[in-house]
Amino acid sequence: MKIQEMSSTYIRFSIIPSLCYCYFISAKIPKGIPRLISLLPIIYIFTILPLYYSSPFIIGCTTFSITWLSNFKLLLFAFGQGPLCKNGSTKMLSLPIFISIAALPLRMKQKNFTQKEKIPLNLAGKLIFFAVILEIIFHHKSEIHQKMVLICYCLMIFLLIDILIAFFNSIFRIFVGLESEPPSNEPYLSTSLQDFWARRWNLTVTNTLRLTVYNPVRLVLFEVVGQEWAQGVAILATFVVSGLMHELIFCYVTRVSPTWEMTSFFVIHGISVIVETRVKRSVKDTWRISGLVSAPLTTGFVMVTAFGLFFPPLIRNGADEMVLEEFGFCVDLIKDKMFQLVSHFR
């Protein structure tokens, strides 16, 4: 019994020791299959890690950042590629930067990076906006139309990702003195699905999937089926992998078998992106839709398909309620403490 408890405790707090092993041991092994074999125990630990937590929110965050992104970064590292390798050279990143990039859903800011928001909203504004939506949903959900609830869910996901990345970026800046790139680039202004998925939404995931799925599939198939088909299959493969990883997050949080609705959501978007790129290539510059029209159409398509396929399994199994309860408890606790503090100074 004590051995099981010790094992459970180790797994819960295994992230930093495991990454130290990768840095000091695996990095010394020749890249390729030998290094990959040395990393398999760590990949296994990171895969089962979320099962040792009870909070749905922590399970979701751990599955996303460690089981998904960290494992994918380690796969790239095994072959001398990706963000854990210093521009493909044999020179290693410093240990703090290596651990931060591997464990957190961050992408180190490039020297030539520039991004100006058309609708600027700082962290404080996002926190207030998120808190207001949460307050409405948590206490008045039964009084709101279901479609409005789903719209609020879309806004909360966008705000939550930005808030979490800003929090992790603060940790990154304090400990290693560097900054990471923002997670998104105003996805509500996307003028096409390709623009939404490739250049605006959750860019850390986009970059990771591009390196681990899209590029290898496209390169392997290029000589076999040609550039156009290789690109199409690579796009679809990328969306399928993304769908499967979202299914894994859903399964870990709810502990129920997948319904494959989330995967279907990503497959539909993958096929839509392929069709969209083919149409763009055929019409070229002869016909172009104004951004004032294409942006609402793109956002509307993403939201409608999410309403039909992405959110239903979460709502059906109560995952949304579990996470809302955690957030609601925290917000109510903060409100009570603030009221107590104000009344104390009166």
The region of weakest confidence among 95-104, 160-169, 185-194 is 160-169
125 — pLDDT class (breaks 50, 70, 90): confident
Between residues 243 and 339, the one the model is more confident about: 243
Rounded to the nearest integer, the mean pLDDT of the chain is 84
Q: Tokens 């760590």 correspond to what residue? A: 42
| pLDDT level of residue 137 (50, 70, 90 thresholds) | confident
Task: Read off the pLDDT of each residue in 101-116 and give the average, rounded to a whole number.
Answer: 75
Q: Out of 35-49, 105-119, 192-206, give the one with best mean pLDDT.
A: 35-49
Query: How confident is residue 3, by pLDDT bands cut at 50, 70 and 90?
Result: very low
Of the pLDDT bands very low, low, confident and very high (cuts 50, 70, 90), residue 28 is very high
Asked if pLDDT for residue 1 goes beyond 50, the answer is: no
Q: Report the DSSP beta bridge partners of residue 108.
A: 180
* Residue of higher predicted confidence among 120 and 325: 325
Q: pLDDT above 90 covers what percent of the chain?
A: 40
Q: What is the pLDDT of residue 5?
A: 45
- The full set of domain ranges for the chain reads 1-103, 120-180, 184-346
Encode pLDDT of 73-98 as tens digits: 999 999 999 899 876 555 778 898 89
Which of 177-181, 233-237, 280-284, 342-346 has the lowest average pLDDT? Answer: 342-346
Please give the Cα distance from 74 to 35 (Å, whole number). Answer: 10
Reduced to 3 states (helix: H, G, I; strand: E, B; else coil), residue 104 is coil
Alpha-carbon span 185 to 203, nearest angstrom: 8
Considering only the C-alpha atoms of the chain, give the largest distance between any 2 of them, rounded to a whole number of Å. Answer: 76
Percent of the chain with pLDDT over 70: 84
33-88 pLDDT, tens digit per residue, is: 999 999 999 999 999 999 988 888 889 999 999 999 999 999 999 999 989 987 65
